[in-house]
Amino acid sequence: MRAKFALSESLPLFADDDVLGAALLGPARIGEWQQIAPLLEARGLPKIDPQMGGRYTRAVVAFFDHLYGLDHDGDVPFAPDGVEDFEGWKRKQKSHN
């Protein structure tokens, strides 16, 4: 987890979206971050703190760690295997009875 630590240590505690965009995607892709960030807010990305003028960077790192399954004490996350079809499973169970 050294990379996580280095990223959060190199950023201010509250970073604006230009700084975060450059850190997360690279300086050439700051504009992409401006478009992606509002979409990720709907999934739990910390919002910009109006008093501090930026997002709490430790919470941003924690958000991405959680999103990619890296917050489980070293357990490797399973790859997603697709969308669950619970209705299909129920139909299959009924046909076997």
Render pLDDT for 18-55 as a digit per residue (tens, 0 to 9).
Answer: 999 999 999 999 999 999 999 999 999 999 999 999 99
Distance CA 17, CA 23 (A): 10
pTM: 0.68
Are the C-beta atoms of 19 and 11 separated by less than 8 Å? yes
Distance CA 95, CA 82 (A): 23
pLDDT band at 67 (very low <50, low <70, confident <90, very high): confident
